Structure 1
Amino acid sequence: ILIPSESYAPKAVRQALGSVFQNVYAEGYPPLRMTRDPEERLRDVAWQLAYYRRYADRRFYKGVDYVHFVECLAQRRCAELFAHDSVRPEHIYVNVQPLSGAAANLAVYQALMEPGDTLMGMDLFQGGHLTHGSEFNISGQRYRVVSYGVDPRTERLDYDAIRDLAREHRPRVIVAGYTSYPWAPDWRTFRAIADEVGAYLVADIAHTAGMAAAGVYPNPVGIAHVTVFTTHKTICGPRGAVILTTDEELAQAIDMAIFPGEQGGPHINKFAAMAVAFRIAQTEEFRRLQRQIVANARALAEALAKRDLRLAYGGTDTHLLLIDLKSVGDRAGDRQGRPYAGDRKGRPYLWGEPAARILDLAGIVVNKNTIPGDTETALATGIRLGTPWVTQRGLDEADMDTLAGLIHRILVNIKPFAYNGLIGTLPRGKIELDVLEEVRHGVAALAEKAGIDFEYERSDYPHYPETRGQGDGGTGRQGDKGTVGLQVTGWRARQFVQEVVTANVAELAPSEAIAAYILDRHGRLIDQVVVKREGSDEWGRDRYLITPTPANTARVASWLRGLADGYILFDEEDVFRKVEGPVVVEETAGQEDKGRRRQGDKEKGSGTSAAELFA
């Protein structure tokens, strides 16, 4: 998994998240006194309970004696984690109740601005977040938005241009911190700009909080007026968010904006999991992890660049990077001379959507992303990659080079094209099955060496595309002497089977069978099979049983499943052609009897051309 906003929560965090605290409602906040107590005093349970019983608290429910402990413990551990030489833990005010980073950002705006005030944030298309003023988000609808971006020449932040923009528009809030801009911001320069125009500076370190806590990314606490982050990215904790400030008045306004302003009952089990995650984040092992995350991102960036894949923004010094897909491959058009949709000259772009989809089929999870120059999310020409998850599983710089090779192998072999749909351009792409399976094997080898903290069973089709094995035909049925069949099910199964075999199966009645051939994209024989029509299933979907020869079962299964997914190249002359689908292709007991032969087909060996086969 290379999604930079995802990480793997350790077992201890998951156990706390699954605790009985999830059953409790606790609207409101802990006693103010407890939120200021250090952890050592919080551990004096008898004293804290005695104080709780004698005095009122800020909750709307009773029976929350122990909720106070876990919420305050999470607050104090968080303050300790982000304290540094200039800011002591007791001077950091912490709210751990936001349900997500978006909710936290909107609550901060609610506390600092009035509707119609000016919000200044980074353009969504160039690295900002939806809540930094996107027109599709409440932040872009409630406030007057002024967006800054990168210098079109350097693709880096231009602080002089940002200062000029702030002077012109006098924003109430400037938000910095990004979801797809891969370089760390200069917090002090941003604060100087904010002070000059009378704005609040909000640091959104949702992605980079773990690195900031570990000292491998600049810590904005004490520089920004407010710092916001999520706990499920590089903090490696539960899903949630935290708001920090060193200003007590702002802290009170933010608390009111969260509850009762925006949310009701908080998720108490999340507090327990946060407390565990923040304790783990104080360890040397966590700091080593964060250093390796950054090292792996740089290594991956270098490995991609040496394979002539251009990196948007010129590289990275954080956990994420973006590939500019406009740097990939040949743009000559298809063999019939038709240009693929793409740039002004008609040359094909490899867009982010098909690139991400095909990488996903290979076992590499990324996301499409806009990069400088893009104007539509649907036509993003970048893909975003991050290293937290793979680093947690023990992969290092050498593995990043291997991974870069696998990514490159996929990207340069995708044949991009596009349809003109009712809603505009629909980006698509196809790839050769052999290339896809080669990369799947490489990904499987990397995954096999990676560590994980629980026992698991391997997931086969339909959950994960199974790669062909050795000695078992790739079916996973080593030692099984029975014939393996492939059951094809779907409302378009009849059309699908008709298009992928040589016989006319459309005329088959239920229980009838026919011999046929399956050919590859060159018109060469993959296998001779028996196709039997079965009765419809309980949903009325057609079903066909295709029985290959045992030695070719894996190849036939991969071919059929690839065609059903819609991303396998099967026609050298026309990349636009497609096979009907979707269908499910599952292994089952095969058809022993070869059935009736309507075409007079003769069994031929693999590799025989179609022309010779039907001569």
Structure 2
Amino acid sequence: MNPAPLLHPGYFTAGIAQTDPLIAEAIVREQARTRGVIELIASENIVSRAVLEVQGSILTNKTVEGYPGKRYHAGAVNVDAVEAAAIARACQLFGCRFANVQPHSGSQANHAVLHAVAEPGDTILAMDLNAGGHLSHGAAVNFSGKWFKVVNYGVRAADGLIDYDEVVDLARRHRPRLVIAGGSAYARALDFAAFRRAADAGGARLLVDMAHFAGLVAGGAHEPPFPHADIVTTTTYKSLRGPRGALILWNDEALRKPINNAVFPGLQGTPSLQVVAAKAVALGEALKPEFACYAAAVLAHARTLAARLQHHGFHLVGGGTDTPLMLVDLRPQGLTGAPAAQSLERAGLVANMNPIPSDATDLKVMSGLRFGVSGATTRGLGLAEFEAIADLVAEVLEGLRQHPGDNTAAEGRVRERVAGIAARFPTYA
């Protein structure tokens, strides 16, 4: 008796170009786009070929709920080994006892921590969004801002730096359940000991969100948040150079059940096991000696780009950078973020608009630009290239200042030079 024919011929053999030309063409165009531009978006990086391979692996097919050794689905022996490896590598890399590697994003990791240590209506103390904070740290439009009473600290108008005495005072006065250190656009190194004093003054737990500088911590180019932090969250992309996802790290045994239960069943169901595996691969890469060289290069490149932008007269919030990112205040040039980012993109330099402290412009426009160097460093660009990038940024923005209605001349000149730089640093075949 002949077996029944497959309902979908080619299901196990046909590739994307054959089965879905529209999506295949979009991927081809995206690869072409990234080859010809220089990505300066601080939240982006370029994963290894191994990480790409794992994310497209057969692990996509497996469903489990729970944690290694305690799953709600059978057939988990291999994925248990994968997740256990990711946990062990995260703990080794960041010097902690416990890790949850299942969060799908940094926001979900932060939400899980809130779910684990606070109740709706409790007070949390976090950086104001315009000062460099993050949506998941209590922004009014986010779940975290709707369920909790949020007290914000900001930065000093005089120098764009955190006033740690103010943070301690706010914690003492408002008695938050959680103090959050870290954000998405604060470029200077955080004083973890000062945040610990603030948490102790208010009887709070301390969460450090190190999403943007986790790669520097992993490579020894930034002070680690432990032992000052109670809990640390990070994304696994950005400077850590892994897949899109997140980690939660901690040392206190008493937090193990609340945090794990907050992730599952509190916020997520089955983890994306192909992403967990890719996290394990990226964490293994970060444990290799060469990653320390990468982290040192990221920091050197960020400071080089920052200094050269300052040479061209741009004001950097906080006066510089100790991380992979920097925030430029465009108000002295009479520019705003959205048209500046659009003009730069047309010139092949991809950055993002960003609010600045006390920003009074519309959130669709904003007054700042955020730059990051992690992806371009992975690609192989060096100090000379980052100095050149700052010169090219300055040329585009000066053209925009002089010709706000039509900056095509400057954009065209710069686009040609950017293409020349990009061609020298290929990525995937």
- Normalization by structure 1: what TM-score? 0.62
Q: Secondary structure at the match of 2:315?
A: coil
Change over 3 Å in CA distance of 1:319–1:63 after alignment to 2: same
Matched, 1:68 2:80: yes
Question: 265, 287, 292: which one pairs with 1:287?
Answer: 292
Percent sequence identity over aligned pairs: 42
> Residue 11 of structure 1 aligns with which residue?
49
Matched, 1:22 2:22: no
Question: 377, 383, 400: which one pairs with 2:386?
Answer: 400
> Residue 490 of structure 1 aligns with which residue?
none
Query: Could you list the per-position Cα deviations for residues 524-557 of structure 1 after superposition, in whole angstroms to 9, with x for gaps in the alignment?
Result: xxxxxxxxxxxxxxxxxxxxxxxxxxxxxxxxxx
Q: Which runs of 5+ in 1 are unaligned?
A: 32-57, 84-88, 329-348, 418-428, 456-615
Matched, 1:152 2:157: yes
Kept in 1: contact 2:328–2:368 (CA 8 A): yes
> Residue 603 of structure 1 aligns with which residue?
none
User: Residues 291-310 of structure 1: matches in 2 within 5 Å?
Assistant: 291-310=296-315
Q: Secondary structure at the match of 2:46?
A: coil
Task: Please state how far the C-alpha of 1:181 moved relative to its aligned partner.
Answer: 0.5
User: Residues 132-171 of structure 1: matches in 2 within 5 Å?
Assistant: 132-171=137-176
Task: Please state how far the C-alpha of 1:236 moved relative to its aligned partner.
Answer: 0.6
Matched, 1:190 2:228: no
Change over 3 Å in CA distance of 1:253–1:440 after alignment to 2: same
Question: 406, 411, 424: which one pairs with 1:449?
Answer: 424
> Residue 414 of structure 1 aligns with which residue?
400
Which sits farther off after the overlay, 107-116 or 214-223?
214-223
Which amino acid is the alignment partner of residue 387 of structure 1? V
Kept in 2: contact 1:415–1:431 (CA 8 A): no
Which sits farther off after the overlay, 288-297 or 213-222?
213-222
Q: Secondary structure at the match of 2:124?
A: strand
Task: Please state how far the C-alpha of 1:218 moved relative to its aligned partner.
Answer: 1.4
Query: Could you list the per-position Cα deviations for residues 421-480 of structure 1 after superposition, in whole angstroms to 9, with x for gaps in the alignment?
Result: xxxxxxxx433322211000111111011142x22xxxxxxxxxxxxxxxxxxxxxxxxx
Structure 1 CA distance, aligned partners of 2:315 and 2:280? Answer: 41
RMSD after superposition: 1.3
Question: 202, 206, 210: which one pairs with 1:201?
Answer: 206
Which structure: larger Rg? Answer: 1
Kept in 1: contact 2:237–2:245 (CA 8 A): yes
User: Residues 364-443 of structure 1: matches in 2 within 5 Å?
Assistant: 364-375=349-360, 376-415=362-401, 429-443=404-418
> Residue 458 of structure 1 aligns with which residue?
none
Task: Please state how far the C-alpha of 1:245 moved relative to its aligned partner.
Answer: 0.6
Task: Please state how far the C-alpha of 1:415 moved relative to its aligned partner.
Answer: 4.4
Task: Please state how far the C-alpha of 1:313 moved relative to its aligned partner.
Answer: 1.7
Query: Could you list the per-position Cα deviations for residues 162-205 of structure 1 after superposition, in whole angstroms to 9, with x for gaps in the alignment?
Result: 11111111111000012101001111111121012100000001
Structure 2 CA distance, aligned partners of 1:315 and 1:415? Answer: 23
Change over 3 Å in CA distance of 1:225–1:132 after alignment to 2: same
Which amino acid is the alignment partner of residue 423 of structure 2? E
Q: Secondary structure at the match of 2:399?
A: coil
Q: Secondary structure at the match of 1:377?
A: coil
Query: Could you list the per-position Cα deviations for residues 261-296 of structure 1 after superposition, in whole angstroms to 9, with x for gaps in the alignment?
Result: 111111111121111111110112111111101100
Which amino acid is the alignment partner of residue 293 of structure 2? R
Kept in 1: contact 2:169–2:198 (CA 8 A): no
Kept in 2: contact 1:180–1:320 (CA 8 A): yes
How many residue pairs are counted as aligned between the two chains?
390
Structure 2 CA distance, aligned partners of 1:433 and 1:262? Answer: 47
Matched, 1:355 2:340: yes
Which sits farther off after the overlay, 287-296 or 217-226?
217-226
Which amino acid is the alignment partner of residue 277 of structure 2? A
Which amino acid is the alignment partner of residue 352 of structure 1? G
Query: Could you list the per-position Cα deviations for residues 23-69 of structure 1 after superposition, in whole angstroms to 9, with x for gaps in the alignment?
Result: 000111112xxxxxxxxxxxxxxxxxxxxxxxxxx111001111100
Which amino acid is the alignment partner of residue 366 of structure 2? A
Query: Could you list the per-position Cα deviations for residues 62-120 of structure 1 after superposition, in whole angstroms to 9, with x for gaps in the alignment?
Result: 0111110000000001111112xxxxx5xx11100111000010010000001000011
Structure 2 CA distance, aligned partners of 1:415 and 1:301? Answer: 20
Matched, 1:131 2:142: no
Structure 2 CA distance, aligned partners of 1:106 and 1:144? Answer: 14
Query: Could you list the per-position Cα deviations for residues 380-401 of structure 1 after superposition, in whole angstroms to 9, with x for gaps in the alignment?
Result: 1110000001111111111111
Structure 1 CA distance, aligned partners of 2:240 and 2:409? Answer: 39
Structure 1 CA distance, aligned partners of 2:278 and 2:61? Answer: 14
Kept in 1: contact 2:168–2:197 (CA 8 A): no
Structure 1 CA distance, aligned partners of 2:168 and 2:197? Answer: 9
- Normalization by structure 2: what TM-score? 0.89
Matched, 1:80 2:92: yes
Q: Secondary structure at the match of 2:364?
A: helix
Question: 122, 125, 140: which one pairs with 2:127?
Answer: 122
Q: Which runs of 5+ in 2 are unaligned?
A: 1-38
Structure 2 CA distance, aligned partners of 1:362 and 1:133? Answer: 36
Q: Secondary structure at the match of 1:412?
A: helix
Q: Secondary structure at the match of 1:234?
A: helix
Structure 1 CA distance, aligned partners of 2:402 and 2:173? Answer: 43
Which amino acid is the alignment partner of residue 229 of structure 2? A
Kept in 2: contact 1:113–1:173 (CA 8 A): yes
Kept in 2: contact 1:99–1:241 (CA 8 A): yes
Higher helix share: 2
Query: Could you list the per-position Cα deviations for residues 225-284 of structure 1 after superposition, in whole angstroms to 9, with x for gaps in the alignment?
Result: 100001011111111100011011112100001100111111111121111111110112
Structure 2 CA distance, aligned partners of 1:351 and 1:370? Answer: 10
Kept in 1: contact 2:173–2:202 (CA 8 A): no
Q: Secondary structure at the match of 1:378?
A: coil
Kept in 2: contact 1:221–1:244 (CA 8 A): no
> Residue 95 of structure 1 aligns with which residue?
100
Matched, 1:272 2:310: no
Q: Secondary structure at the match of 1:260?
A: helix
Kept in 2: contact 1:238–1:270 (CA 8 A): yes
Structure 2 CA distance, aligned partners of 1:243 and 1:416? Answer: 47
Q: Secondary structure at the match of 2:267?
A: coil
